[in-house]
Structure 1
């Protein structure tokens, strides 16, 4: 099997990667007049969209396929292909699903939730931090820096992959075509150290780069407009060329070393109370005839006289509408002061340069005056020891792992416990009743936590997804979007080396645990327990290998057929979708559970293709961990007749390919009340020899 997989992987490397399917003719139908679709560009697989505006042809945006720019595989191993259209400002004109093979949306939830999720991007912007189903959605309304996307229950990993595909593809186009810099993601930004304070003077703060300063005289401003229609339009500047036009200081007051040194204690406390976690506050102080705030400025709004960009992306700064007082002896101008707030969702990164622009506008004309604007540019940079560097990306898989760290800790603790118990099996089975309670509790955890809560049901889809990704020479990064699956796959791989397939099939498979529960229920209800003869049982067990071969072959030769064949497994219906599905699927999954009440774990033993794959891979097992005695099989057949899986041969050997590690035979082996050889030894130990006495004659 291992050799076959390697050979198949080599063949896969020769297969061409999947490409986009859109054509110009198809796009013309999607974007009819008055829009015009240009030719596909040579440097990037995008089509420009134009609109005729009077005599001019203006660029409306670009349309492209995500699979050409960010082919991130979904859970079937095939990338979800999305049509994405963005305008020159980085806003989404449209996002639509072109093709996908996501199991949860094929016959399960249906495609409607998938299409609805994709439609939410329209009108949103790359300049916003897009959050999927965030808890803060209930607390904040969307704004210029942040927007929310409703997630899809039961398809969390799939919609994260879609989001990553959309953003990755759109950012590539934006950086190449729209002049976006290699800007930082709002979820990959540094954080100000809230507890760091150093006592510094204003001069020291300036020397450290924490306070920016620009001073302009009227003469300086006049020079800006020299040679333009705006020259000579300011009489006051001409009359007093050396007078101060503006003398402005700006600093990031939310840095404790700045705020506590520059502001009075009460003002610092008031400012800190007005900020939420991750927010920034810029303190702007100025003097001169020109102010950052216009005469008609409305408090609480955004000023147009001071602009902030980071990595060429604009960042909104909103007036906090609060009065603050400067610390005594600061020598900073206080004629005009304002505190501008940048909310955390705007993604302002204190580790990167703050680029400010001070636009100065002059008007020429009376009825329809011409506006002539010149910008003064300056920057600010926070020293590195005042912030903590970025810890990860919440839109990609590292952020997914971070968001599920509690669930992963619970799962890891359970897996460590299980491994310890299995390694110390003598202690575990020493008391049969205690072992029974441990097994019941763990299987309940498997059904409730691993299955229904964490959605950690491993499936043959995990194999077909990897196979199809290898065939198309794509990364396996898509697996990392579901950390529970990755951890379970890793543990299962290790357990295959030690114990074989039984650890997963007998302890960690949610549907297998459901089957065991219904099987025990059938025994408790005293339903007839059907047990096939050894010959028929062996033949029935071959069915799962046939199913496995058919599914893997279809994944290689006919991927469209694979989506249908994997439904041979009832896992998606019973666990992923919790039986909320079309009635034929529900009837099939229910029938299998009912069947297990009469034939113990019917599906697991005879039909499960994933179990077949594990059985084959489990042949690399290094331990024959089930203890045996010389009497096992000859003459004792006790364990064999009690094994519900019929995994013990007449000779007493364990068929590890069919063993589910229920450990019933191990409990029997350790019990002097159940194991026939031990019972005989016990009886022999209690035999009292009869003494013959000869009485007196």
Structure 2
């Protein structure tokens, strides 16, 4: 490697140090929490409960299930409750990990305080200032815990909350964490109540179905957790493969238990008691290895909004045998009894399994795995009741931003259609006159930087690639990625176009920061800097371009060990500072970094894209397998006319186009058909003009159509069309 490239590497390392140093010490939200705070009996000895419940003078130990803490005044009167979100719900945010939140609520159900004590959200750890997070959670103070809270404008009885600009997905996840936690604790302590549901009535069917038929009609629920999902040994098979179902209904009870055992079970059950069978195989137990007589089965729960049901040893019956001959093999089995007048089997409910999972650093966390269940309609008189479910938060966002989504989709579609017509456009252009290419691209750069980047904040990033990779490894949730419609749609566009044409359509036409760089190049030319604009020497370029691939693989590798560290290092991308956070919200190293890139862009075409962008490197790799490439001629191996004008340095000494580097500017394709610029065409044109021969149309192969082939075609056309 040359001295210049070594020097550049050293400066790059120094710049990364400057960029990440102010971040590393700027937040305590990624610090590890003690086991006593997360699971110990005395929550408030380790957490600042008084911050979220200022009226309290002292606090109790953890109580109930889900757990909470009573807030007491000087006389010992309960004035409210404090609870940790992970004791109640397990809702991962954009990072794939939950935002651990301490919440206070008074005895009337009013939220008195919210404090985030740990999160792994990339945009909040390194980018958006803490004040934005504090402003967001302060909106909850004074609201009822049973209020319908929605990110956005609200309406239809809901309370609208402002999102965190640039972190909408995180805001949606945190809203669910706060509202669901407050509601479930409020229900448990009797603050909130719900209207009773009509009792279930089963159809008097006398059937004996095998396991396969029961499964086919949805009478059996199944929850499978792979070993990989929880960090267990995959060689030992699934972590757990669990089946369950509701036994009170005659068809299911008789089919699984046999008539005698089913009748005995029904005689033993009291009114408002419900039997649920569970069988499982795999590495772990749904009963829990720490269960003791008189204790609680802490791994399994049943939820039917808004209630959560846990089970003690007195709620458990042994299950020794299943009747169907085709039932799967299982390692353990049991019957759990739900004892509540509020549980209604006619309505949908969820079986929840709580397990410990190990992340890639060996840190143990608690995770909830939910499997919905609803009895088949034919088991119920009148079929399924009408269930009104709240519209998912991501759907509200899509509906609220439908006009912007329409314009965004129109931009993507127009770009794809325009590029698909490239052959017609380049044929109608010449090297010196190409308005059909240059003007649409200039318009798209303005739209991309202004509308897509600064207004929609829809800049794809390496952080999204890392987040999706970890979601695939840990737990994929479509609703989180659907929460940002523009990024979601943009990535589908990118995936499709990269496989069709390579990375160039996104990187060269629609990337907001790439567009901003090209606009700076245009600005430099307009203010008289054109004579100073030049590319790096090809040999130096060929060495430096590998930097972005090293950065890409480095970030992916670091993320497998520490996502937080990788997020800090991903500040090598200037996208967050430019579009999401704003330069004015960052410290001077970020100003210097952005200024240097945009300043250099006035003198050289897209320097960041060529040498530093890990996002571009990540797209270049699958782009090697594109379906359609650019055209070449046999003479291209010795003719360097296109290479001399390639702003991406994407044409090598043998005339081959490197699709990993090509930005699809189409200059080489314009020359391909230009008989005043392409040397082979210029030569043939002059020969024909000298001989007085006609200049025929240029064919798809880039050469004038043969006069002999045209003459041969004329008689046949004459016969067909007399």
Q: TM-score range by the shorter chain?
A: 0.5 to 0.7
Counterpart-to-counterpart distance in 2, 1:416 and 1:28: 52
Of stretches 20-29 and 421-430 in structure 1, the one that deviates more from structure 2 is: 20-29
Aligned to 1:51: 72
Q: CA deviation at 1:52?
A: 5.5
Structure 1 residues 599, 100: CA separation in 2 closer, same or farther (over 3 Å shift)?
same
User: Which of the residues 610, 613, 626 maps onto 1:605?
Assistant: 610
Partner residue, 1:355: none
Is 1:669 the counterpart of 2:672? The answer is yes
3-state SS of paired residue (1:40): strand
Change (3 A) 1:670 1:130: same
Which residue, out of 158, 167, 170, partners 1:158? 170
Aligned mates of 1:554, 1:506 — CA distance in 2: 28
Partners of 1:666 and 1:614 in 2: CA distance:
22
Counterpart Cα distance in 2 of 1:420 and 1:68: 49
| Cα 1:153–1:452 shift into 2, 3 Å | same
Aligned to 2:399: 402
- Do 1:78 and 1:465's aligned partners in 2 also have CA atoms closer than 8 Å? no
State the Cα deviation string for residues 303-328 of structure 1 (Å, max 9, x = none).
xxxxxxxx999xxxxxxxxxxxxxxx
Deviation for aligned residue 1:57: 5.0
Task: Determine if contact 2:169/2:481 at 8 Å carries over to the other structure.
Answer: no
Name which of 543, 556, 559 aligns with 1:539: 543
1:558 CA displacement:
2.0
Q: What secondary structure is seen at the aligned counterpart in 2 of 1:673?
A: coil
Contact 1:66–1:166, Cα closer than 8 Å, also in 2: no
- How far is the alpha carbon of 1:414 from its aligned partner? 1.5
The alpha-carbon distance between structure 1 residues 459 and 545, as it changes in their structure 2 partners (threshold 3 A), is same
Deviations along 1:38-71, one digit per CA (max 9) or x if unpaired, are: 3334632x222142575x6536224122586132
Closer/same/farther in 2, CA of residues 554 and 622 from structure 1, 3 Å limit: same
Which residue of 61, 67, 82 maps to 1:39? 61
1:562 is displaced (CA, Å) by 1.8
SS of 2:47's partner is helix
Unaligned runs of 5+ in 2: 1-33, 197-304, 308-346, 348-385, 429-433, 694-722
CA distance in 2 between partners of 1:599 and 1:498 (Å):
28
Tell me the secondary structure at the aligned position of residue 451 of structure 1.
helix
CA distance in structure 1 between the partners assigned to 2:88 and 2:690 by the alignment: 83
State the match for 2:596 in structure 1.
Answer: 591
Q: Residue 718 of structure 2 corresponds to which residue in structure 1?
A: none
TM-score normalised according to structure 2 size: 0.59
- Paired residues of 2:184 and 2:306 also in contact (CA < 8 A): no
Q: How does 1:112-191 map to 2 (within 5 A)?
A: 112-132=131-151, 134=153, 147-178=159-190, 180=192
Deviation at 1:135, TM superposition (A): 8.8
- State the alpha-carbon separation in 2 of the partners of residues 182 and 686 from structure 1: 90
What is the match of residue 356 of structure 1?
A: none
Which residue of structure 2 lines up, in the alignment, with residue 457 of structure 1?
Answer: 459
Match of 1:618 in 2: 623
* Partner-residue secondary structure (3-state), 2:491: helix
Q: Alpha-carbon deviation of 1:28?
A: 6.5
Residue aligning to 2:485: 483
Whole-angstrom distance in 2 between the partners of 1:183 and 1:662: 64
Distance in 2 separating the partners of 1:548 and 1:404 = 33
CA contact (8 A) 1:78 1:469 kept: no
Cα gap change, 1:96 to 1:632, in 2 (>3 Å): same
The corresponding residue for 1:370 is none
The equivalent position to 1:73 in structure 2, one of 93, 98, 109, is 93
- Check conservation: 2:55, 2:73, Cα contact below 8 A: no
* Structure-to-structure mapping, 1:330-409, within 5 angstroms: 393=391, 396-409=393-406
What residue is the counterpart of 2:553 in the other structure?
Answer: 549
**Aligned pairs for 1:231-310 within 5 A:** none
Within the alignment, does 1:640 sit opposite 2:643 as a pair?
Answer: yes
Number of residue pairs matched? 463
1:428 aligned onto 2:425: yes
1:573 aligned to which of 574, 577, 581: 577
Q: Secondary structure at the match of 1:422?
A: helix
Report the alpha carbon displacement of residue 615 of structure 1 after superposing the two structures with TM.
0.8
Secondary structure at the aligned position of 2:171 is classed as helix
Alignment equivalent of 1:413, drawn from 410, 414, 434: 410
Alpha carbons 1:67, 1:82 under 8 Å: kept: no
SS of the equivalent of 1:60 reads strand
Post-superposition shift, 1:452? 1.0
Deviation at 1:652, TM superposition (A): 1.2
Specify the alignment match of 1:660 in structure 2.
663
Give the conservation status (yes or no) of the 8 Å contact 1:469–1:475: yes
How far apart are the structure 1 equivalents of 2:186 and 2:511? 44
1:85–1:93: 8 Å Cα contact kept in structure 2? yes
Q: Which has the higher contact order (CA 8 A, sep 6+)?
A: 1
Partners of 1:174 and 1:70 in 2: CA distance: 18
Quote the residue 2:631 is aligned against.
627
Report what 1:447 is aligned to. Answer: 449
Corresponding residue of 1:495 = 497
* Contact 2:102–2:116, Cα closer than 8 Å, also in 1: yes
- Does the C-alpha gap of structure 1 residues 435 and 393 become closer, same or farther in structure 2, counting only changes over 3 Å? same
